Structure 1
């Protein structure tokens, strides 16, 4: 029927679609594609672009170094320091906390390194439980909405850091409802949101643990908890070996036990991320890499499916050769305060923060 509508009317109808739906509608037929492209309805700046570089979290650096490759798009400056003036740096805590679909989450700001734009986060409200820690997590999908949200996710302190009341130690973790503070770039305000734990596949609500259980868990010392945002839901790697799937639109959350492998211990490194197919979970034990895919075909009972189990030691030989050549290759490591790149990477083990720019 679209072929019989005037272009102006068709453009008005298509213009009310969300960016992701509009992108799908563009592939329906040639006439629709001509209207979408001719009227510039689909904003290219809201769509995920190709990978332009990776920021590395390396200790003893003010800003993360930028690992990039030559490409034909606009040049991206990996020197984040250049985006802030001296006055800003003196009053802002700009440590890198995370990323999501091209945006970087700093402790007190959110920035787009591809454009150099940044916005300061206002001071959040007082925490609900002052004894807990609260980590900032970024949720942003430019193919759906141009706005981002920042959630304060509670984490329990170790037994050696604070003394909790007996009543609090015996309370379930996480609680239901779970009350979180969230900042919206659309309103520019922090607001309080309540999330109820979803029912399991058998219809019941099962508390995962108590606060005391989490504090005594073997994996408690892992300080590299990750998160990712996929199809409107925030996946957060939490204590006690679980992944929390938060659904802001429905006000619910679901707990998914993270996959475990033979030989995994508290010194193993876990990484939660996404690819085109969905959410993935990676485990690195020495030179061994294992990757699981989260099968959510059964929404209430998602399952991890092992996709990769490889020994990486043979693959590290080319990388070592690359280091010996001081980075003489197609990928370049930039902005390390004039320090020798190869020597720095040999001394420290960087943790990659993949940012689509």
Structure 2
């Protein structure tokens, strides 16, 4: 007689939770009831989704593909170079686009791939690579499926006297203004430039692995816009840095059912994925310096990088329905950089391009990853000011005399879950 049949599911789950990983996996195959309890209570999740960073995926200036820097104390048991992808060696543009809970969004030339390096499984997404930024959302705690969001960038300025194609919005606005009013302005301006941005209803293209389709999803804004198209365009496409090149501006992070994205115009946006609403979050300071948004121990963080190796770290306070950046750390990293310059054997390229680059936040600890003296990877513990050397970030085949440097990096946490195919799938974005 099986006495466990008389126990409620919660009691069985409490018993099974005490087993070692091998025994827990075996017990899942003993009885269907145990199988259902293990899956319903997601007992295997802590084992297949470790809360540790196993390395960094890094994109480089003028380098054909990303490089994976594994943590020295735990070399990966997976292919960090993603050589199992079909387009791995084809084309000259291979870029890591985004990462979320162990799932990567990767671009090979004009093809996008959703990749799980830990399981060597992948999907290929057929989509238009245009004037937008793509972000991936994956939460194995709630679902084995993922979504890819394509968020339009700020529209280009339309010159009415030379453009033969006007947007429908511009045409409607133009019809409301008389010729006399236009003459009084002097040179013609497109009224589209005076529209607020982001719009009150922001339509995004979203791919869902559950439906295998691209669909349009509209998000309604709560609160004020960031400004007009003209004011938002005043900020450059990329941050103004004293170093040649530099990282991209538009990082994203997923946290508790919302997608946070840093946008052009020095503001961020929170997309509430459940009820299709969004809210603008203004920058904590008025600066043209680089900003980096990410997820860490207590939620959403923002780092602002200033000249002379100064770094500020902010946390997003969302209590009582208010969104406010709170300054938590102000760090002077110049002494640390001088130490690396004295102890690291650097070639002439490193010496002439010595700089600091922000690489990302540790998703589970208050730790930031940095590159000092261009390619010296370090982990800086914010609470204790402890610093750890991670290794040389430069690939062996990367030697460019005039464009040595890093673009961006993505801390990688492996995951053994996810519904990914091992062959290409034909998925088309709806226009």
TM norm structure 1: 0.76
Report the Cα distance in structure 2 between the residues aligned to 1:47 and 1:101, rounded to whole angstroms: 8
After superposition, the Cα gap between the structure-2 partners of 1:312 and 1:195, relative to the gap in structure 1 and judged at 3 Å, is same
Show the counterpart of 2:121.
Answer: 117
Cα contact 1:52–1:71 (8 A) shared by 2: no
Seen in structure 2, the aligned counterparts of structure 1 residues 333 and 84 have a Cα distance that, compared at 3 Å, is: farther
Larger radius of gyration between Structure 1 and Structure 2: 2
**CA-to-aligned-CA distance 1:112-171 (integer Å, 9 cap, x gap):** 2223222101325xx9xxxx8211111112222221111111111454999674242222
Measured at CA, do residues 167 and 89 of structure 1 come closer, stay the same or move farther in structure 2, by a change above 3 Å? farther
Contact 1:228 1:235 (8 Å CA) reproduced: yes
Contact 1:48 1:142 in 2 (8 A): no
In the alignment, what sits opposite 1:302?
323
Contact 1:219 1:241 (C-alpha < 8 Å) held by counterparts: no
Match of 1:252 in 2: 277
Q: Does 1:272 align with 2:284?
A: no
Q: For residue 21 of structure 1, what is the aligned residue in structure 2?
A: none
Q: Relative to 1, partners in 2 of residues 1:317 and 1:161: Cα closer, same or farther, differing over 3 Å?
A: farther
The alignment status of 1:78 with 2:137, answered yes or no, reads no
Cα distance in 2, alignment partners of residues 152 and 158 from structure 1: 17
Deviates more, 1:103-112 or 1:89-98: 89-98
Which residue number in structure 1 is paired with residue 353 of structure 2? none
Aligned-pair Cα RMSD in Å:
3.6
Q: Distance in 2 between matches of 1:353 and 1:186?
A: 25
CA deviations 1:54-92 (Å, max 9, x no partner) are 111211222211222234575233323x12246x65489
Cross-structure match for 1:218:
235
**Separation in 1, partners of 2:95, 2:75:** 27
User: Which residue number in structure 2 is paired with residue 207 of structure 1?
Assistant: 225
Shift of 1:310: 1.0
Distance 1:49 1:76, change over 3 A: farther
2:336 maps to which residue?
315
Per the TM alignment, residue 350 of structure 1 is displaced from its structure 2 partner at its CA by 5.0
**Contact residue 157 and residue 193 of structure 2 kept, 8 A:** no
5+ residue gaps, structure 2: 29-37, 171-189, 240-247, 348-375, 378-387, 415-431
Is the 1:46–1:142 contact (alpha carbons within 8 Å) kept by the matching residues of 2? no
Residues 273 and 279, structure 1, Cα contact 8 Å, conserved in 2: yes
- Give the Cα–Cα distance (whole angstroms) in 2 for the partners of residues 78 and 255 of structure 1: 36
Query: What is the CA–CA distance in structure 2 between the aligned matches of 1:185 and 1:322, rounded to whole Å?
Result: 49
Match of 2:58 among 44, 56, 59: 56
- In 2, the alpha carbon distance for the partners of 1:121 and 1:8 equals 48
Contact 2:58–2:68 (Cα < 8 Å) also in 1: yes
State the distance in 1 between where 2:402 and 2:52 align: 25
Determine the structure 1 residue equivalent to 2:261.
236
User: C-alpha offsets along residues 188-218 of structure 1, whole Å, 9 cap, x if unaligned?
Assistant: 11111111112x4xxxxx3332222222x23
1:94–1:109 contact (8 Å) kept in structure 2: no
Distance 1:67 1:169, change over 3 A: same
Q: Tell me, in whole angstroms, the C-alpha distance in 1 between the residues paired with 2:53 and 2:343.
A: 21
The answer for the alignment partner of 2:213 in structure 1 is 189
Give, in angstroms, the shift of residue 298 of structure 1.
2.1
Tell me the equivalent position of 1:336.
395
Q: Does the 8 Å contact 2:249/2:262 carry over to 1?
A: no
